[in-house]
Structure 1
């Protein structure tokens, strides 16, 4: 199976009195609709551990360009009444489209129950973005991916032009595109792995890693647990 290269990521709080209705819509209409669009592989929904947005919703696709394809934009520009109702209850949403830059590990046989996200911008020097990608690919992801309990580690880079396409659905929920250029995703078997000594050593235990961790800008770390997953037919 071809490794998905694209990612559609949405963060949002949901009005507390609408949460169960949101979950029903997302499970029963929205994710099934999305994963049946050509180029979609799988949709996941996660719920927050920490003081961050309540939900993280993410779809893996063939490429980022799937999110500017005619079938996808048709769905975005013709939202169902249930979709219009549901996304009107999003609060402080973010929505960004990404391309895969580097990966260590493979898709787990069963979806990993926990997820760590790290969003960041590169150091403020001319080669900062290139160095971030080189560091993640050659050192950071391999070291963190080797920590016990880490199934897969990935780095994505934002595709701002595609992320900023305006659609009818987006006009309802009003999501911003986010301000960080990079998104790292770590699929894990336990939620406290990022607090372990093994993780800290893997993350900062070389001169290059210590320097890069300190140099990253606008860093946000978020932990989530898996709430729902649905694969496109024939994709798993």
Structure 2
């Protein structure tokens, strides 16, 4: 089974230890459901880091990335519930990425997820997608414990749309960051697979000048419709 759409919202967050219980209860009991029930949204899942930072990652699948920049969606950011306002005010880190999915080779839903974040040369987009879809990802998903993969590019126009929202910190991005998501049944397997292939030496041919950022996560909770 592939992803539920061609758009994806990723949020990386951190809170202090004293706020984690309330944060996790809010996410599991209110926030995931609120987002999944929005028009064009289909599935939301959240994870906790086993290796890497920030500690928490949420992944939302939607019809298209354009949905994340529509007035109807942005209005929800300006009308948060009291619980949402209280929890969001305690974020110590918040990064929001709105991804246009370029490659979808996912297969079901796994207990583990590895993320690889990097910034390539936009002029090498076509060659990068070809390498990922025809060589890199099939090789990785054939490894034991790795079941599927997807790749998305942060859409700068869409991600900048909610900058007026005062409840969160939205630092402005100047470069189109890409994210590879490797999903599987084993945390160690997906993390090792990601680090084995996505080295700076391999990515240099696609204009990547800075070493990629890795994260390895275990599944916490999800919902879909």
TM-score normalised to the size of structure 1?
0.84
SS at match of 1:221: strand
Aligned partner of 2:10 in structure 1 is 9
* Deviates further, 19-28 or 69-78: 69-78
Residues of 1 paired with 2:50 and 2:96: CA distance?
20
Instruction: Summarize deviations over 1:188-216 as a string: whole Å, max 9, x none.
Output: 111111465xx489838xxxx99633543
Instruction: Establish whether residue 213 from structure 1 lines up as the match of residue 207 from structure 2.
Output: no
Shift of 1:149: 1.6
Aligned partner of 2:87 in structure 1 is 86
- Of structures 1 and 2, the larger Rg is shown by 1
Shift of 1:166: 2.3
Instruction: Establish whether residue 132 from structure 1 lines up as the match of residue 132 from structure 2.
Output: no
The answer on whether the counterparts of 1:119 and 1:180 sit within 8 Å (CA) in structure 2 is no
Aligned partner of 2:98 in structure 1 is 97
TM-score normalised to the size of structure 2?
0.87
Match of 2:183 among 187, 192, 199: 187
Instruction: Establish whether residue 53 from structure 1 lines up as the match of residue 42 from structure 2.
Output: no
Aligned partner of 1:38 in structure 2 is 39
Provide the aligned length of Structure 1 versus Structure 2: 220
In structure 2, stretches of 5+ residues that fail to align are: none
Cα pair distance change 1:73/1:133, threshold 3 Å: same
Aligned partner of 2:76 in structure 1 is 75
Cα pair distance change 1:18/1:195, threshold 3 Å: closer
Shift of 1:93: 1.1
Shift of 1:17: 0.8
Aligned-residue RMSD, C-alpha: 2.5
In structure 1, stretches of 5+ residues that fail to align are: none
SS at match of 1:49: strand
Cα pair distance change 1:225/1:200, threshold 3 Å: closer
Instruction: Summarize deviations over 1:91-131 as a string: whole Å, max 9, x none.
Output: 1211010011012243x1xx311100000111x5x732332
Residues of 1 paired with 2:67 and 2:128: CA distance?
26
Cα pair distance change 1:2/1:203, threshold 3 Å: closer
